[in-house]
Each structure stands twice: as C-alpha cells, then as structure tokens.
C-alpha cells in the first residue's frame, strides 16, 4: 500500500489505501472525478459515483459489438440462403469490415480500461449486479483471447489457413493427399506456438480442446473415448455379425419438395419453436443461427428421395434454434447472448433429434405428421417399422452421414490422430495409414480413397484442430440430462408420446438455455445433473437402445 504522491491535488477524503498509480498517481484531472475508483468512499457531498455510469458505457460498448455480430450473421445468412452468386465480393467486403471493426472495438484501449475499472468496482462492492459481473467476466475472456496473438502471428495464420483451405478443396476432389499433407505439420506447429500465447502453462492440445469446449482436456477426452471404445466398438461388431437390418424401402420413396416444406413447419411447431421468432430457409448444408432475442432460424436442404434427411435436419436445427431463443431476454445486446459452447449446443440439437426424435415413444406424433403430409407413403408404415428404420446402425465411411451409434467412432478416429500429431507421436505423413488402421479397427471398413478418408472434412484445412472432439459430447451430455430430468419428475416418454414437449422444454430452459454464455459447460452439467460430466450414461444409453433394437 502506498501513499498519495506529493503532487496529488485530490481533494477527496480518501479512506481507502491504494497503491501508487492506481488512483492518485495520475494526472490532476483524474482526481477531479473522471475516475470510478475514487468514489463512494466518504467523499464530500455532491460527488457522484462513476461506477453506474461505467456500467452504462460498458453496455453501450457491448451494443456496438452486438451490432457487428448481428450484422455478420444476417449477412452470412443472406449469403447462405438467398443472395445471388455475384453478390459474393460485396458481401465479403462488408463482412471483412464488420469483423475488423468487431476486433478493433473488443480490443480497444477504451474497452480494456472499462473492463479494468469495472472489475475494480465489482471487487470493491461498488456495483452489486450479478449479471454485470458475468458480462465483465465473459467479455474479458473474449478480449484476452482476441488479443493473445501478436499481429504477425495472426497474419501468418490467416495466410496459411487460406492457402491450406484452397489446396484442400482441390486435393479432396482429386483424392490427392500429398498436396495437402505439408499443411498439417505446418498448422500443428503454428497451433502449438499459438497455444503458448493463450496459456503457456498448459499442454498445447489441452489449450485448444479447452478453446472449443471449456473445461475439457486430453485427460477427460481420453477417459470419455476409452469408455466409448469399450462400449461401441463391440456393439457395432455384434450388429454386423448377428444383427438383422430392417426392411425400410419407404425411406427412399419420393416426397415432393412442397410437401416436405409444409411438413417442416409442422416439425418446427412440434419441437416447440415459436413461429413468430423463427423462419425456415433453404440452403446447401442445413444450419441454424441465433440472431437475437426473438430471432433464431432454421435452414434445411430438401432431397425428394430422402425425406428423413430433411425431417431430422429440421428437428436437429430446431433444437439449436430453440436453445438460442431460450436465453434470458435480459442478456439481449450483451456478450451473454447466444449458446455457450459447441458441445452444449449439440446437446440441445441432438436431444430433440435423437433422445426425443428417435425414441420409440415419439414415433406416434412423428408418424401422425408423416401420414398427414405423405399418406401415400406412410399409411402403410407402423410405429415399430418407423422406429427400426430411423435407428438403422451401420458403419459407413463418411462422418456426416453416420448414425447415432457409429458417429462417436468417427470422432474418436479424428481425436486420436490429432492427439498423436500434437504429442509428436505422428506427423502428417502418418495420417493416411492411421486413418485406415483406425477405420478398420473401429468400423470394420477399408478406406478406398483419401477423399472418403482423411480429406473428407473441412475442419483441418481451416486449422480447427481440437474441434472435432466437442462434436461427440453433445449426445453424451444428453444421456446425462435424462436421469436428471426424470429425477425432477418429468415424464420424458409421456411427453414424447403425447407430442407435447413443454415439460422437456421447461427443464432444458431452466437448466441450460436461460444461462446463455453466462455459464460454461462444466457448470451447466454440474448444475443440471448434480454431478460432473460422466460418459457412463451415454454408453449405457447406446448399449441398451441398440442391443434392444438389434435383439443382441
């Protein structure tokens, strides 16, 4: 603790000690109340505490950032759904400007000072506002991470991933691993260096795993995937050897686009989306986007000979959208708006898609809708046949086409390879052989081409290492929600069978949605399930469901 400097002209009756430089080791005009720290501590009458004003400034700053995020999303949505082909250059220009402004505002000196002063005001109890404290905490983390890298690192990384992405697009088409291979090692090297800027005390791969899903690291994923491996690999083998696949020709029956459109709206309503807060758009790859309180949308792709692709895309994306719409409206225009993480987001979409949407109980309401819109196909299908058909488990090469059971194995292959690349146990040249070996081991399949192997996904070409594992968490979280929901007295099967999912939405809303970005995944899991994440629930769920389906 220091003393005021001799040249301090501060006229306040300071009752608190402070270090030099913190309050009074500054210019005279800062003593004359431009400064939140000096206030509320027994000043003369007439002084006004600056902390509430700073909180307002902070909200205004967040609004500036929110505007950029919102516009980025609107523009991206426009591009993905309706914009003409030749609109791309102008859109790119506008989006680059928005992203630049977002970074500039987030990392500005003004923003840094504000966060610093608000942190002090909060810690000194001058602001008693739990939401504001959450905003400051989340904002500060966003800011710190946005500022972590030196400019030359950012630029070099942008060049490297642009180049890698362009090479990957061609390489995938040409089944040409060799041209893409060098980028893997270069990107892993860069990511290891970058991890040091984010947190030099941790293993680099742990840093990146945590970036994509807070609280996760290689140790927790190792444990998770080892349980998945022990449960799912033998189950998949048993199905291949002894399981009987159902006849389900109706899955490929032609259902016209206009019929599928109308069915899609009914599915969105069945999930419980407020139709005044959403819309259905059409695009190449289905997605969902939350724009703001009161606006989260679904985009699907219709194949006339694959109705179920659209059905489960719509239910899945509706699950994402309903999460975004369930965030506390008080978080509007702040950094707490939106979903908290990839894993939690996927747990919401997959809860509706799989836990509800592929449950036996839900076949009643689902079949009723299918019969309403496509009676010529579904009047001859019963609930049991539908249940078997939408739960066919069968190893395949392409991750995005995998079923509920084999999906985590695809993720495991990628996780194990990433882990070896970061630990130095493997380099890029080993990837194709590792891919082939693990695909054989876990899925029982040969990999005929790189296009269907290590070149199939876009993630690595964009430098997203550590991202894949979070994809497997969604369903695993779901399996842990179920007993917690039951313990809260919710009749999940009854809700699914009746088609009235309100009790399910209430539980998810109270335990997950409303917190927005205010809580990280581990807190949400612990809060909602009363215990830390545990993959046992997931393994038990898969085992029970698929052994029953395939009578094993």
**Where in the sequence numbering do the catalytic residues fall?**
317
Site string for a second copy, 59-78 (x = CB under 8 A): ----xx--x--xx--xx-xx
Q: If binding is defined by CB under 8 A, does position 89 make contact with a second copy? A: yes
Residue from 112, 279, 498, 543 that binds a second copy (CB under 8 A)? 279
Q: If binding is defined by CB under 8 A, does position 341 make contact with a second copy? A: no
The residue among 459, 474, 344 whose CA lies nearest residue 404 is: 474
For residue 353, what is the DSSP state?
I
Q: If binding is defined by CB under 8 A, does position 277 make contact with a second copy? A: yes
CA-to-CA distance for 198 and 138, rounded, in angstroms?
16
Give Dmax over CA atoms of the chain in angstroms.
Answer: 92
Please measure the distance between the N-terminal and C-terminal CA atoms of the chain and give it in whole angstroms.
72
Beta carbon nearer to a second copy, 78 or 382: 78
Q: If binding is defined by CB under 8 A, does position 284 make contact with a second copy? A: no
Residue span binding a second copy (CB under 8 A) among the ranges 6-14, 270-278, 446-454, 539-547: 270-278
Beta carbon nearer to a second copy, 77 or 205: 77
Beta carbon nearer to a second copy, 73 or 316: 73
Residue from 48, 90, 166, 173 that binds a second copy (CB under 8 A)? 90
Ramachandran angles phi, psi of 126, nearest 5°: -80, -15
Q: How many of the chain's residues bind a second copy (CB under 8 A)?
A: 40
Q: How many CB atoms lie within 10 A of CB 220?
A: 19
C-alpha of 57 from chain center: 29
Q: If binding is defined by CB under 8 A, does position 275 make contact with a second copy? A: yes
Residue from 146, 281, 308, 434 that binds a second copy (CB under 8 A)? 281
Asked if 265 and 247 touch (Cβ cutoff 8 Å), the reply is no
Beta carbon nearer to a second copy, 264 or 470: 264
Min separation Cβ 86 and a second copy, Å: 3
Q: If binding is defined by CB under 8 A, does position 93 make contact with a second copy? A: yes
Min separation Cβ 150 and a second copy, Å: 25
Residue span binding a second copy (CB under 8 A) among the ranges 31-39, 276-284, 363-371, 382-390: 276-284
Q: If binding is defined by CB under 8 A, does position 87 make contact with a second copy? A: yes
Beta carbon nearer to a second copy, 187 or 321: 321
Min separation Cβ 373 and a second copy, Å: 16
Residues numbered 288-317 forming contacts with a second copy, rule: CB under 8 A: 291-295, 297
Residue from 80, 81, 420, 514 that binds a second copy (CB under 8 A)? 81
Residue span binding a second copy (CB under 8 A) among the ranges 8-16, 121-129, 274-282, 536-544: 274-282
Q: If binding is defined by CB under 8 A, does position 330 make contact with a second copy? A: no
Tallying the residues shown for the chain, one arrives at 552
Residue span binding a second copy (CB under 8 A) among the ranges 89-97, 173-181, 240-248, 384-392: 89-97
The residue among 326, 320, 312 whose CA lies nearest residue 400 is: 312
If phi over 0 gives left and psi between -120 and 50 gives alpha, with beta otherwise, what is residue 125? Answer: left
Min separation Cβ 281 and a second copy, Å: 6
The residue among 405, 363, 370 whose CA lies nearest residue 388 is: 363
Asked if 170 and 176 touch (Cβ cutoff 8 Å), the reply is yes
Q: How many CA atoms lie within 13 A of 521 on its CB side?
A: 26
Q: Is 548 helix (H, G, I), strand (E, B) or coil?
A: helix
Min separation Cβ 258 and a second copy, Å: 7
Q: Is 18 helix (H, G, I), strand (E, B) or coil?
A: strand
Reported in sequence order, the residue ranges of 154-258 that DSSP labels E, i.e. its strands, are none
Beta carbon nearer to a second copy, 91 or 229: 91
For 236, 431, 440, the CA distances from 453, given in Å and listed in that order, are 19, 10, 12
CA-to-CA distance for 313 and 327, rounded, in angstroms?
22
Q: If binding is defined by CB under 8 A, does position 258 make contact with a second copy? A: yes
Q: How many CA atoms lie within 13 A of 442 on its CB side?
A: 27
Residue span binding a second copy (CB under 8 A) among the ranges 131-139, 268-276, 421-429, 520-528: 268-276
Cα angle: 69, vertex 312, 80; to 5 degrees: 35
Residue span binding a second copy (CB under 8 A) among the ranges 94-102, 225-233, 348-356, 374-382: 94-102
Q: Quickly list DSSP for 444-510.
A: ------STTTTTS-STGGGT-TT-HHHHHHHHHHHHHHHHHHHHTT--HHHHHHHT--HHHHHHHHH
Q: If binding is defined by CB under 8 A, does position 506 make contact with a second copy? A: no
Beta carbon nearer to a second copy, 74 or 248: 74
Min separation Cβ 57 and a second copy, Å: 16
Q: How many CB atoms lie within 10 A of CB 32?
A: 13
Q: If binding is defined by CB under 8 A, does position 283 make contact with a second copy? A: no
10 Å CB burial of residue 306 (0-12, 13-18, 19+) is: middle
Q: If binding is defined by CB under 8 A, does position 362 make contact with a second copy? A: no
**Interface residues with a second copy (CB under 8 A)?**
63-64, 67, 70-71, 74-75, 77-78, 81-91, 93-94, 97-98, 258, 274-279, 281, 291-295, 297, 332-333
């Amino acid at each position: 603790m220091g003393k005021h400097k001799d040249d301090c002209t501060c006229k306040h009756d300071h009752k608190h000690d402070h270090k030099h430089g913190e309050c009074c080791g500054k210019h005279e005009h800062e003593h004359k109340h431009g400064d939140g720290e000096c206030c509320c501590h027994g000043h003369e009458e007439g002084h006004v505490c600056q902390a509430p004003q700073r909180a307002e400034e902070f909200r205004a700053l967040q609004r500036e950032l929110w505007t950029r995020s919102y516009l980025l999303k609107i523009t991206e949505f426009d591009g993905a759904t309706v914009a003409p082909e030749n609109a791309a250059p102008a859109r790119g220009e506008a989006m680059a400007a928005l992203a630049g402004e977002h970074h500039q505002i987030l990392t500005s000196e003004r923003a840094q000072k504000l966060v610093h002063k608000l942190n002090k005001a909060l810690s000194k109890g001058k602001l008693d506002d739990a939401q504001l404290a959450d905003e400051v905490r989340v904002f500060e983390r966003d800011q710190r991470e946005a500022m972590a890298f030196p400019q030359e690192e950012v630029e070099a990384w942008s060049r490297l991933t642009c180049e890698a992405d362009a090479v990957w697009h061609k390489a995938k088409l040409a089944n040409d691993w060799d041209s893409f291979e060098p980028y893997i090692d270069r990107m892993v090297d860069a990511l290891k260096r970058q991890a040091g800027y984010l947190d030099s005390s941790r293993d680099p791969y742990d840093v990146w795993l945590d970036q994509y899903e807070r609280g996760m690291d290689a140790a927790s994923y190792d444990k998770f995937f080892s349980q998945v491996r022990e449960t799912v690999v033998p189950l998949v083998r048993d199905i291949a050897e002894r399981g009987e696949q159902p006849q389900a020709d109706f899955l490929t029956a032609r259902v016209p686009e206009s019929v599928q459109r109308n069915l899609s709206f009914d599915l969105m309503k069945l999930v419980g989306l407020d139709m005044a807060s959403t819309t259905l758009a059409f695009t190449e790859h289905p997605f969902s986007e939350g724009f703001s309180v009161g606006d989260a949308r679904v985009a699907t792709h219709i194949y006339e000979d694959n109705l179920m692709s659209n059905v489960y895309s719509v239910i899945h994306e509706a699950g994402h959208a309903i999460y975004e719409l369930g965030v506390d409206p008080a978080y509007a225009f702040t950094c707490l708006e939106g979903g908290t993480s990839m894993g939690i987001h996927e747990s919401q979409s997959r809860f509706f898609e799989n836990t509800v949407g592929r449950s036996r109980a839900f076949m009643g309401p689902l079949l009723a809708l299918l019969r309403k819109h496509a009676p010529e196909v579904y009047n001859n299908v019963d609930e049991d046949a539908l249940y078997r058909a939408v739960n066919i488990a069968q190893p395949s090469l392409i991750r995005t086409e995998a079923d509920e059971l084999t999906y985590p194995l695809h993720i495991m292959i990628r996780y194990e390879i990433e882990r070896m690349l970061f630990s130095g146990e493997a380099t890029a040249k080993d990837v194709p052989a590792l891919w082939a070996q693990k695909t054989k081991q876990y899925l029982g399949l040969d990999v005929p081409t790189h296009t269907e192997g290590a070149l199939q996904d876009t993630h690595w070409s964009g430098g997203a290492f550590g991202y894949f594992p979070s994809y497997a968490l969604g369903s695993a979280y779901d399996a842990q929600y179920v007993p917690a929901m039951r313990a809260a007295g919710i009749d999940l099967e009854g809700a699914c069978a009746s088609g009235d999912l309100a009790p399910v939405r209430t539980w998810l809303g109270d335990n997950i949605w409303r917190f927005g970005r205010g809580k990280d995944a581990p807190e949400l899991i612990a809060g909602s399930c009363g215990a830390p994440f545990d993959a046992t629930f997931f393994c038990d769920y898969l085992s029970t469901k698929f052994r029953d389906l395939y009578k094993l």
